[in-house]
């Protein structure tokens, strides 16, 4: 594989697909892994996470040949473009990668590079686990109740990028079509208007919901909750819910039952080992996350709901500095933290690298390096429990030692060496 804008490291070997059907990978001892440090605080958390992942790999008898990729500000600086084709192609070819946050201007300017990457690679499942680490301060009284994983559809919804700016010829054409041809003539106010389209397809919904159900079955989880606003958006979010129940009823035999079946056929007692699929309306769900936290285990939802929900859930377990994630599809994984580029802290060596480090843990698990992944989690947890924390957690606890991003990573590396 050769690229114009990417250097392939000589000391590693590429990861390949071992089984087309299952998406299983063939991972060499020194895999080439692409990394985008990202914009803003990406320049702080990216290198910090890299050090920790190197230490975990080495402690378990392996190593990582990092392949530095450029996107966002770093790509503009080097190549005068936001997202070089080679960056996308390198992730496609090398299958497992990690990225820091990329800035998206609000209103005008270029569209989200994060969304573009997910769409171009068809990484249709954005998976965001939310669990509490010992010692992490939280605004709720019992953060340990939260142990949830969100499967967020990544390619559709109002995030699809099908929208038109106010006062353009295109938006007026869409307005005329909606009002004159589709009969919604009183629905859009006169004067300038921006219009967006919300596609929710059976194909996109079902493949995401299958991922959530498969995860629940394979990880001994009891419930999958479809989160939607189908009472209002009947033909999009309502359809997502209906397609979810269809998947549950038609594709999993006795392994999965719906909430209706639970009550109609089992008196509310799920048979041992059965996954129950239920649904909640999104606004209710956001309050249930706080009031009945422990009842929710696996969430399947659409793009916008999933974005809101995972930030809110992240706050319950210590904030965005802690919350990891990954994008999956077609035997590929692009790990990335939930948080953005927090430009006001860029380059200050101040923010918490835990979210990026734990996104790396997700990546290690995907490689099948479960021992290295467990080391990362234990070392991060022990470091925080010992009171060594960055500013975000330090402001919420009494005592403790406030450290910089790089120092926190060094302490985690030291702990990895002690644990290994
Ligand atoms: P943000 O970058 O996530 O930051 C919001 C706040 O969250 C920060 O001010 C900080 O809170 C806290 N925070 C975030 N990361 C942290 C960390 N590692 N350690 C400690 N605290 C952390 O959200 P935003 O300000 O709305 O977005 C900024 C830019 O990022 C936008 O351009 C947005 O489009 C982009 N973004 C990118 C991604 C992505 O790349 N996937 C995701 C979301 C947003 P305090 O100020 O209270 O300390």
Q: What is the DSSP code string of 398-418?
A: SS-EE--HHHHHHHHHHHHHH
Answer yes or no: is the C-beta of 310 below 6 A from any ligand 1 atom: no
Query: Could you identify the residue written with the tokens 């995030």?
Result: 159
Given a cut of 90, whether residue 197 has pLDDT beyond it is yes
- Confidence band of 397 (pLDDT split at 50, 70, 90): confident
Residue 241 clears pLDDT 80, i.e. is over it:
yes
In this structure, the strands spanning 332-335 and 326-329 are antiparallel
Give the atom of ligand 1 at the shortest distance from the alpha carbon of 112: 34
Q: Is the CB of 46 under 6 A from ligand 1?
A: no
**pLDDT score, position 110:** 83
Cβ(5)–Cβ(87) below 8 Å: yes
Choosing from 101, 126, 321, 337 the residue with most ligand 1 atoms within 8 A of its CB, the one to mutate for a pocket test is 101
The verdict on the CB of residue 93 being under 6 Å from ligand 1 is: no
Directed axis angle between helix 303-316 and helix 282-291, to 10°? 10
- Is the pLDDT higher at 161 or at 65? 65
For residues 376 and 108, what is the distance between their CA atoms, to the nearest angstrom?
40
For residue 390, the model assigns a pLDDT of 97
Residue with the two structure tokens 């389209």: 197
Task: Calculate what percentage of the chain has a pLDDT beyond 90.
Answer: 92
Helix, strand or coil, per DSSP, at residue 377? helix
Highest mean pLDDT among 105-109, 324-328, 396-400: 324-328
Nearest atom in ligand 1 to 103's CA:
32
CB of 150 within 8 A of CB of 127? yes
Residue 21, pLDDT > 90, answer no
Residue 169 is predicted with a pLDDT of 97
Q: Which of 70, 159, 215, 366 is labelled catalytic?
A: 159
Nearest CA to 406 out of 371, 358, 357, 340 is that of 357
Query: Which range is least confidently modeled, 14-23, 234-243, 245-254?
Result: 14-23
Query: What is the pLDDT averaged over residues 124-135?
Result: 94
Cβ pair 92, 332 in contact under 8 A? yes
Neighbours of 345 (CB within 10 A): 17
Look at the chain and count its residues.
420
Q: 339 alpha carbon to ligand 1 midpoint, in Å? A: 5
The tokens for 406 are 């790089």
pLDDT at 111 (0 to 100): 84
Task: Give 2's pLDDT tier (boundaries 50, 70, 90).
Answer: confident
Ligand 1 atom nearest residue 311's Cα: 3
Q: Would the CA dihedral through 142, 148, 154, 159 be positive or negative?
A: negative
- pLDDT tens digits for range 73-126: 999 999 999 999 999 999 999 999 999 999 998 877 788 999 899 999 999 999
The closest residue, in CA terms, to atom 30 on ligand 1 is 340
Q: How far is the CA of 105 from the centre of ligand 1 (A)?
A: 13
Residue nearest to atom 4 of ligand 1 (CA): 342
Helix and strand totals (H; E) in the chain: 14, 17
Determine phi and psi for 407, rounding to 5 degrees.
Answer: -65, -40
pLDDT of residue 398: 84
Is 26 part of the annotated catalytic residue set? no
The pLDDT assigned to 396 comes to: 87
Tens digit of each residue's pLDDT (9 = 90 or more) over 217-228 = 999 999 999 999
Q: Is the pLDDT of residue 240 over 90?
A: yes
- Which pLDDT band, with edges at 50, 70 and 90, does 20 fall under? confident
What predicted TM-score, i.e. pTM, was given to this entire model? 0.94
264 is annotated as an active-site residue? no
* Per-residue exposure over 346-377, b if at least 16 CB sit within 10 Å of its own CB, e if not: beebbbbbbbbbbbbbbbbbbbebeebbbbbb
Residue 319 CA to ligand 1 center (angstroms) comes to: 10
Is 159 one of the annotated active-site residues of the chain?
yes
Write down the catalytic residue from 180, 264, 283, 344. Answer: 283
Distance 72 CA to ligand 1 centre (A): 15
Residue nearest to atom 5 of ligand 1 (CA): 342
Do 35 and 46 contact (CB within 8 A), yes or no? Answer: yes
Instruction: Confirm or reject: Cβ of 44 under 6 Å from ligand 1.
Output: no
> Which of 294, 298, 299 is closest to 282 using CA atoms?
299
Element (H, E) at 298: strand 298-301
- pLDDT average, residue stretch 263-279: 95
Using the mean position of ligand 1's atoms as its centre, give its distance from the Cα of residue 340 in Å: 4
Q: What's the CA gap between 334 and 359, in Å, rounded? A: 9
Catalytic residue among 157, 229, 245, 279: 229
pLDDT band, residue 417 (cuts 50/70/90): very high
What's the mean pLDDT when you consider all of the chain? Answer: 95
C-alpha of residue 394 to centroid of ligand 1, in Å: 18
What pLDDT is stored for residue 371 in this prediction?
A: 97
Tens digit of each residue's pLDDT (9 = 90 or more) over 141-186 = 999 999 999 999 999 999 999 999 999 999 999 999 999 999 998 8
Distances (CA, A) of 195 to 166, 172, 262: 8, 9, 41
- Whether the CB of 342 sits within 6 Å of ligand 1: yes
Q: What is the mean pLDDT of residues 363-377?
A: 97
Relative to beta strand 163-164, strand 195-196 is: antiparallel
């Amino acid at each position: 594989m050769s690229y114009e804008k990417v250097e392939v490291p000589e000391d590693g070997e590429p990861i390949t697909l071992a089984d087309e059907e299952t998406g299983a990978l063939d991972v060499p001892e020194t895999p080439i892994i692409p990394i985008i440090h990202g914009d803003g605080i990406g320049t702080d958390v990216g290198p910090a996470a890299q050090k920790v992942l190197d230490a975990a790999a080495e402690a378990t008898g392996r190593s990582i040949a990092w392949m530095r990729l450029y996107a966002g500000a770093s790509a503009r600086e080097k190549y005068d473009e936001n997202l070089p084709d080679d960056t996308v192609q390198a992730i496609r070819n090398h299958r497992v990668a990690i990225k820091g946050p990329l800035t998206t201007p609000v209103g005008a300017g270029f569209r989200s590079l994060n969304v573009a990457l997910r769409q171009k690679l068809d990484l249709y499942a954005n998976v965001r686990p939310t669990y509490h680490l010992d010692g992490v301060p939280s605004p709720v009284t019992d953060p340990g109740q939260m142990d949830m994983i969100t499967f967020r559809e990544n390619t559709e919804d109002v995030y699809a990028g099908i929208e038109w700016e106010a006062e353009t010829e295109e938006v007026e054409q869409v307005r005329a079509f909606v009002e004159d041809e589709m009969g919604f003539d009183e629905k859009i106010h006169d004067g300038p208007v921006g219009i967006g389209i919300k596609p929710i397809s059976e194909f996109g919904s079902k493949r995401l919901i299958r991922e959530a159900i498969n995860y629940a079955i394979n990880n001994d989880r009891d419930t999958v909750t479809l989160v939607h606003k189908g009472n209002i958006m009947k033909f999009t979010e309502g359809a997502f819910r209906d397609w979810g129940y269809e998947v549950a009823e038609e594709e999993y035999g006795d392994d999965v039952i719906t909430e209706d079946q639970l009550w109609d056929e089992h008196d509310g007692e799920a048979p041992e080992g059965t996954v129950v699929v239920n649904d909640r309306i999104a606004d209710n769900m956001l309050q249930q996350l706080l009031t009945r936290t422990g009842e929710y285990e696996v969430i399947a939802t659409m793009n916008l709901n999933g974005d809101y929900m995972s930030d809110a859930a992240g706050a319950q377990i210590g904030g965005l500095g802690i919350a990891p994630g990954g994008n999956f599809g077609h035997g590929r994984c692009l790990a990335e933290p939930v948080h953005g580029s927090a430009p006001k802290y860029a380059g200050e060596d101040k923010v918490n690298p835990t979210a990026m480090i734990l996104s790396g843990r997700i990546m290690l698990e995907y490689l099948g390096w479960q021992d290295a992944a467990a080391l990362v989690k234990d070392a991060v947890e022990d470091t925080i429990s010992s009171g060594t924390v960055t500013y975000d957690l330090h402001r919420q606890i009494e005592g403790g030692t406030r450290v910089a991003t790089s120092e926190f990573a060094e302490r985690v590396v030291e702990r990895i060496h002690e644990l290994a």
